[in-house]
Amino acid sequence: MNIIEIKELHKIYDESEVKVHAVNNISLNFEKGEFAAIVGPSGSGKTTLLNMLGGLDKPTDGNILIDNTNLHKLRSSELIRFRMMNIGFVFQAYNLIPVLTAKENVEFIMHLQNKNKKEREERTMSLLKAVGLEGRENSRPSKLSGGQQQRVAVARALASKPKFVLADEPTANLDSKSTEQLLSIMEELNKQEHITFIFSTHDQRVVNKARRVITIEDGKVISDIRKDVESDSK
């Protein structure tokens, strides 16, 4: 069952005399539980596509449907609430709130969702345990390593029980050991919670873990390979 439908999507930047077609007529579907990587050279359009999927940027033309809700037909207030209830984000720069502890960073979105204290605490402690940070819940970001901060970011992205998680270059600032640990955690959470993960990445280690690899060049999809289907056919 498709939870995301991208239909004839375009994004044109017209900030100079030359128009830049960052996303050029892309149509894609994503099913529940996918673990997919969008790859391509710098400037290929993969981050622009991810930003439009997350409602952080608007397309010039085309539509994005999430469970049949047209993301870019929503009013601003509706879009903010829809993102909060349905989409998790993991960014390259972690984007944790520095004055909050790991526990408070994870809980924050559940406060916005008006979840009760018991539910917030149970969900938070379960997620911090799942990402290997049990015992570090009261540490602020400055007291955590880069890999640990990114694990908090993953737990935060999952706290709202989103339909899917968008991860933009989540391993770019991590060493090899932290990257392997983080990817294993996200892969396990993907299997346990059946949440769709969509990565934008240059990292071959992420590509190796992905079960679907979509390659973009010059704003167009040039290949879309499902590894599980490919292996089943051999």
Q: Would you tell me the crossing angle of helices 176-193 and 117-130 to the nearest 10 degrees?
A: 130
The domain in which residue 87 lies consists of: 2-232
Q: 34 vs 58, 110, 113, 122, 164, CA distance in Å?
A: 24, 24, 25, 26, 9
pLDDT, tens digit (0-9, with 9 covering 90-100), for 178-197? 889 889 988 988 988 888 99
Domain CATH number, residue 9? 3.40.50.300
Count of the separate structural domains present in the chain = 1
pLDDT of residue 229: 53
Q: How far apart are CA 184 and CA 182, in angstroms?
A: 5
- Is pTM, for the whole model, over 0.75? yes
pLDDT of residue 192: 85
pLDDT of residue 175: 87
pLDDT of residue 61: 95
15 DSSP 8-state letter = S
Ranges in the chain, pLDDT < 50: 230-234
Cβ atoms of 48 and 97 within 8 Å: the answer is: no
Q: How far apart are CA 86 and CA 64, in angstroms?
A: 14
Q: How far apart are CA 227 and CA 213, in angstroms?
A: 8
